[in-house]
C-alpha cells in the first residue's frame, strides 16, 4: 500500500510538471477538482447513505445489530460509529466517513436475513477496520489525481484548445498534449487506485478476523454473500454495482470479464486463502 501511494504521488508530480511544461494554466481545473475532493471528503457519509437509501437506526430499533457493534468497538477500543440499515435484498454492508467520529456502518436488510450472528459479526468487524484505518479518507485522497486528470481531459476536449497551435508556429496543439497526458495519467491512476482498494480490502479482512478471533466465520460470510449474489435479480445487482467500492463484497451481474481485472475487491479465492492462513496461525479451524 505504501508503494502504491508513493507511485500515485509521483504520478501527480509528473502530471503537474507536464502541464507547466506546455504552459497550461490549470488553476480553474485544480480549484474545481479540489472542491469536489472536499465535498467527497467531508460529506462522504451523508452522500453514501442517501445514494444507497440507508437510514440510521437506534438501539431500540435494531438491538442485536447495535449489540454486535458495541462489543466489537469495545474490543477494538474505538468510538462507536453511527448505525444504519438500507432496505435492499442485495446482501451487503459498507462503512463510510472521513474519521472515527464521523463514521457510519450500514448493513442491508438482505444480509441481516441471510447471515448467522457470528458471520454478521465478522462482516461488521471488517467494516469497522475500514473505519479504524480511515480507508475512506485514504481512497478519497488517492482518487484526487484521477479526478484532476479526468477534468483536464474534458477541459481539453470542450474548451477548443485542440484547435489552437502552440505559440502560433504550427507546432503540436496544446489541447492534444493535454488530452494525451491527461488520458495516460487517468489510466495509470485508475489502475493504481484499484490496486490500493484491493490491498485495503485484504487488510480489512485480516484485521476483522483477528479482532473476532473467528476467521472461519468471516470466510463463511464471504462465501454465503458471494454465492447469494447469483440469486439476486440482475436489475437489483446493476443498481448496486456503482457502489461496489464501498461494499463488503462486490455486487456483480453477469459473467466475469476483463473488467474484473480492474476490480475494487480481490478475488474471493484470494480472500478465503488469507483467512485460512490466519486460522492456521490462530490454531483454529
Catalytic residue numbers read 127
| Alpha carbon 114 to its chain's center | 24
Give the SS3 label for residue 252. Answer: coil
CA dist 6 and 196 (Å) reads 11
Using CB atoms within 10 A of its CB, is residue 94 exposed (0-12), middle (13-18) or buried (19+)? buried
Question: What values do phi and psi take at 69, rounded to 5?
Answer: -70, -40
How far, rounded to the nearest angstrom, does the alpha carbon of residue 117 sit from its chain's CA centroid? 25
* Alpha carbon distance 63, 79 (integer Å): 18
Give the CB-side neighbour count of residue 244, counting CA atoms within 13 A.
21
In Å, how far from its chain's centre is CA 255?
A: 22
* Environment class of 5 (CB within 10 Å of its CB; exposed 0-12, middle 13-18, buried 19+): middle
Strands 104-108 and 82-86: parallel
* Alpha-carbon gap, residue 3 to 169, rounded angstroms: 42
User: Residue 169: exposed, middle, or buried by beta-carbon count in 10 A (0-12, 13-18, 19+)?
Assistant: exposed
Q: Which three cell numbers stand for residue 94?
A: 459498507
Amino acid at each position: 500500500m505504501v508503494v502504491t501511494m508513493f507511485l500515485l504521488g509521483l504520478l501527480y508530480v509528473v502530471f503537474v510538471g507536464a502541464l507547466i511544461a506546455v504552459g497550461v494554466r490549470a488553476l480553474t481545473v485544480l480549484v474545481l477538482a479540489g472542491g469536489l475532493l472536499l465535498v467527497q471528503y467531508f460529506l462522504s457519509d451523508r452522500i453514501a447513505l442517501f445514494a444507497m437509501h440507508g437510514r440510521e437506526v437506534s438501539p431500540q430499533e435494531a438491538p442485536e445489530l447495535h449489540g454486535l457493534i458495541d462489543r466489537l468497538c469495545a474490543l477494538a477500543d474505538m468510538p462507536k460509529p453511527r448505525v444504519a440499515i438500507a432496505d435492499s435484498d442485495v446482501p451487503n454492508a459498507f462503512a463510510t466517513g472521513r474519521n472515527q467520529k464521523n463514521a457510519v456502518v450500514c448493513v442491508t436488510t438482505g444480509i441481516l436475513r441471510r447471515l448467522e450472528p457470528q458471520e454478521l459479526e465478522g462482516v461488521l468487524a471488517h467494516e469497522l477496520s475500514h473505519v479504524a484505518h480511515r480507508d475512506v479518507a485514504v481512497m478519497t485522497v488517492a482518487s484526487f489525481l484521477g479526478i484532476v486528470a479526468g477534468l483536464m481531459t474534458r477541459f481539453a476536449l470542450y474548451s477548443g484548445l485542440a484547435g489552437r497551435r502552440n505559440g502560433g508556429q504550427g507546432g503540436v496543439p496544446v489541447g492534444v498534449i493535454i488530452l494525451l497526458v491527461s488520458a495516460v495519467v487517468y489510466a495509470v491512476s485508475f489502475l493504481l487506485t484499484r490496486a490500493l482498494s484491493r490491498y485495503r480490502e485484504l487488510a480489512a479482512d485480516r484485521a476483522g478476523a483477528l479482532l473476532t478471533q473467528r476467521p472461519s466465520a468471516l470466510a463463511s460470510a464471504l462465501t454465503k454473500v458471494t454465492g447469494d449474489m447469483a440469486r439476486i435479480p440482475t436489475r437489483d445487482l446493476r443498481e448496486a454495482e456503482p457502489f461496489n467500492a464501498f461494499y463488503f463484497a462486490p455486487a456483480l451481474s453477469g459473467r466475469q470479464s476483463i473488467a474484473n481485472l480492474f476490480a475494487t475487491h480481490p478475488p474471493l479465492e484470494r480472500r478465503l486463502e488469507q483467512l485460512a492462513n490466519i486460522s492456521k496461525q490462530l490454531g483454529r479451524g
